[in-house]
Amino acid sequence: MAGYDLVFVGTYGEPPSAARRGRGIHGFRFDPAGPRLVPASVAADIRNPSYIVCDAARGILYCVNEVADFGGRQGGSVSALRIDRASGALSALGAPQATGGADPCHLALAPDGRHALVANYTGGSVAVLPIDADGALLPARAVIRHAGAGPDPARQEGPHPHCVALDAAGRTALVADLGLDRIMVYAFDAATGLLAPDLRQPWIATAAGAGPRQAVFHPGGRFVYAVNELDSTVAAYRVDPRTGALGALQTLPALPRGFAGRNHCAELQVHPAGRFLYASNRGHDSVAVFALDPASGAMEARGHVASGGRTPRNFCLSPDGAFMAVANQDSDCVALFAIDPATGMPVPAGRAVEVGTPVCVRFF
């Protein structure tokens, strides 16, 4: 094995669900020889476990519970589940913890595994939850609230944090705020779990109405990339090696020339080798592929690959960069691709598996 043999899929849905089969968190055994996904487990008693991340070292899965209320209070929550490597089964680890805001939609773990950082889309805030030595979540220690609005009254009537991205050292946290057209820059204290605006550069603005949804650091730490949901573009930024400040480098369309339909971008990931960048298009129903110049950070459009279904909400690259799994939300399926190591292009591989309303997929 290449160090991963399980795949987990987070979904939308209130358990139990009769409308669409199989909501919850699904576990699959991954067979790279096929390649194929073989059903292994379902943890069905979790509300809207939409976005998930895995702590591979401790064998724990964390998921946001994307709801507008938690325990009768306004706001969502985060759950921790222990992974049984042999069976793929998930079991609750401690109690879910409130995120201090409604509809949490994204989750990131600090590199040392001691804190989880959560973006509350409707709540307009970012929460930091400590993690104890066993991997269980503790009550939120800090909640940072955004304020303001963007030019689109339908989607930017207020702040909508959609992503938290930490650098490899765990000292800088970027928050893509779709509602404000800003990538917020925070200093993160790994010892205390506290966030504070980086006074050297509290934020960097995107184009008006762009709607930044996801931001990712390049593996080398010298560049940051962001996908903009509302104007379907991908942007590149330089990271100043002395100050850590972001500087605009380049913006490219995520759609092919001539496409005139409705589209909203969603996921963004850099290949582990740092040579390629991928973004998903909901509407065009594709994954856009870009080559990256390792010296300048510049992007070069390489083409598009059909996502294998409708509305590719999220996708994930395997740790070695050999495979991609795509969650097609409105086709109730997860499609598999092999990554061509020379071109970076995803190539359809194996059969898609049925999962009701898949939202997020992770190799483990």
pLDDT in tens, 192-204: 999 999 999 999 9
The C-alpha atoms of residue 21 and residue 256 are separated, in whole angstroms, by: 34
Q: Report CA-CA distances (Å) from 15 to 18, 103, 104.
A: 9, 17, 18
Q: Who contacts 191 (Cβ-Cβ below 8 Å, separation ≥6)?
A: none
Residue 260 DSSP class: -
Kindly tell me the sign of the dihedral angle through the C-alpha atoms of 20, 25, 26, 31: positive
User: Tens digits of per-residue pLDDT, 243-295?
Assistant: 999 999 999 999 999 999 999 999 999 999 999 999 999 999 999 999 999 99
Asked if residues 215 and 225 have their Cβ atoms less than 8 Å apart, the reply is: yes
| Residue 71 token pair | 């325990």
Say if residue 22's pLDDT is above 90: no
Q: What angle do CA 221, 227, 230 make, to 5 degrees?
A: 160
User: Tens digits of per-residue pLDDT, 321-354?
Assistant: 999 999 999 999 999 999 999 999 999 999 999 9
Query: What's the average model confidence in pLDDT over 76-100?
Result: 95
Confidence of residue 1 (pLDDT cuts 50, 70, 90): very low
Neighbours of 29 (CB within 10 A): 15
Q: Please tell me whether residue 330 adopts helix, strand or coil conformation.
A: helix
| CA atoms within 13 A of residue 333's CA, in its CB half-sphere | 12
Instruction: Quote the pLDDT of residue 135.
Output: 98
The C-alpha atoms of residue 345 and residue 338 are separated, in whole angstroms, by: 8
Say if residue 214's pLDDT is above 60: yes
Neighbours of 200 (CB within 10 A): 11
Instruction: Quote the pLDDT of residue 2.
Output: 57
Provide the residue type at 191 as one letter.
A
Instruction: Quote the pLDDT of residue 13.
Output: 74
Q: Is the pTM of this model over 0.85?
A: yes
Instruction: Quote the pLDDT of residue 104.
Output: 97
Instruction: Quote the pLDDT of residue 318.
Output: 98
3 state SS for 94-137: CCCEECCCCCEEEEEECCCCCEEEEEECCCCEEEEEEECCCCCE
Expressed in angstroms, the distance from the first to the final Cα of the chain is: 12
Distance of CA 317 to the CA centre of its chain: 12
Q: Please tell me whether residue 331 adopts helix, strand or coil conformation.
A: helix
User: Tens digits of per-residue pLDDT, 126-182?
Assistant: 999 999 999 999 999 889 999 999 999 999 999 999 999 999 999 999 999 999 999
Residue 329 DSSP class: G
Q: Report CA-CA distances (Å) from 27 to 47, 49, 85, 345.
A: 16, 13, 11, 26
User: Tens digits of per-residue pLDDT, 102-134?
Assistant: 999 999 999 999 999 999 999 899 999 999 999
Neighbours of 241 (CB within 10 A): 9
Q: Token pair 């990271």 is at which residue?
A: 239
The C-alpha atoms of residue 238 and residue 146 are separated, in whole angstroms, by: 24
User: Tens digits of per-residue pLDDT, 292-327?
Assistant: 999 999 999 999 999 999 999 999 999 999 999 999
